[in-house]
Amino acid sequence: MAQPRIPRERSLTYGLVETLGQLIVTGAFATQPFPTEGELSRQHGTSRSVTREAVKMLTAKGLLRARPRQGTNVTVESQWNLLDPDVLRWLLERKFSLQLLAEFTEMRLAIEPAAAALAASRADREAIEQIRAGLERMHAASQGDDEPVAADIAFHTAVLVATGNRFFAQLDPMINTALRISIRFTNRIKGRAADIAQHEEVLDAIVAGDGERAALAMRALIGEVLELIATAQAPPAARRGGRSSA
- Looking at the fold, whether 104 and 182 belong to one and the same domain comes out as yes
180 found inside a domain? yes
Residue type (1 letter), 109: L
pLDDT above 50 for 1: no
pLDDT above 50 for 53: yes
Three-state SS at 136: helix
Domain-terminating residue out of 79, 114, 137: 79
Looking at residue 61, the DSSP 8-state letter turns out to be T
pLDDT above 70 for 207: yes
pLDDT score of 229: 87
In the chain, the percentage of residues whose pLDDT exceeds 70 is: 88
- Looking at the fold, whether 68 and 119 belong to one and the same domain comes out as no
Among the residue ranges 2-6, 87-91, 158-162, 195-199, the one predicted with the least confidence is: 2-6
227 found inside a domain? yes
Range of the domain at 136: 96-236
Q: Which helix (H) or strand (E) holds 67?
A: strand 64-67
Rounded to an integer, the average pLDDT of 106-114 is: 94
- Looking at the fold, whether 72 and 113 belong to one and the same domain comes out as no
pLDDT above 80 for 246: no
Domain-terminating residue out of 28, 52, 79: 79
- Looking at the fold, whether 116 and 226 belong to one and the same domain comes out as yes
pLDDT above 50 for 5: no
- Looking at the fold, whether 21 and 124 belong to one and the same domain comes out as no
pLDDT score of 193: 60
- Looking at the fold, whether 118 and 164 belong to one and the same domain comes out as yes
How many angstroms separate the Cα of 114 from the Cα of each of 84, 107, 164? 22, 11, 12
Q: What is the CATH number of the domain that holds 123?
A: 1.20.120.530
pLDDT in tens, 156-185: 999 999 999 999 998 888 888 888 888 877
91 found inside a domain? no
> How many Cα atoms occupy the beta-carbon half-sphere of 146 within 13 Å?
18
pLDDT score of 4: 40
Averaged pLDDT score across all residues of the chain: 88
Domain-terminating residue out of 54, 79, 104: 79
- Backbone phi and psi for residue 70, each to the nearest 5 degrees, phi listed first: -115, -5
pLDDT band at 59 (very low <50, low <70, confident <90, very high): very high
Closest CA to 232 of 109, 100, 110, 112: 100
89 found inside a domain? no
Top-confidence residue, 206 or 98:
206
- Looking at the fold, whether 106 and 24 belong to one and the same domain comes out as no
- Looking at the fold, whether 103 and 22 belong to one and the same domain comes out as no
88 found inside a domain? no
- Looking at the fold, whether 132 and 231 belong to one and the same domain comes out as yes
pLDDT score of 236: 66
- Backbone phi and psi for residue 3, each to the nearest 5 degrees, phi listed first: -75, 140
Closest CA to 151 of 162, 136, 163: 136
Among the residue ranges 10-24, 148-162, 182-196, 214-228, the one predicted with the least confidence is: 182-196
Q: Name, in order, each residue with C-beta under 8 angstroms of 7's C-beta and a sequence gap of 6 or more.
A: none
- Looking at the fold, whether 56 and 19 belong to one and the same domain comes out as yes
134 found inside a domain? yes
Q: Is 73 left (phi over 0), alpha (psi -120 to 50) or beta?
A: beta
Whole-prediction pTM value? 0.77
- Looking at the fold, whether 41 and 148 belong to one and the same domain comes out as no
1 found inside a domain? no
- Looking at the fold, whether 173 and 203 belong to one and the same domain comes out as yes
Q: What is the CATH number of the domain that holds 13?
A: 1.10.10.10
199 found inside a domain? yes
Could you give the number of structural domains in the chain? 2
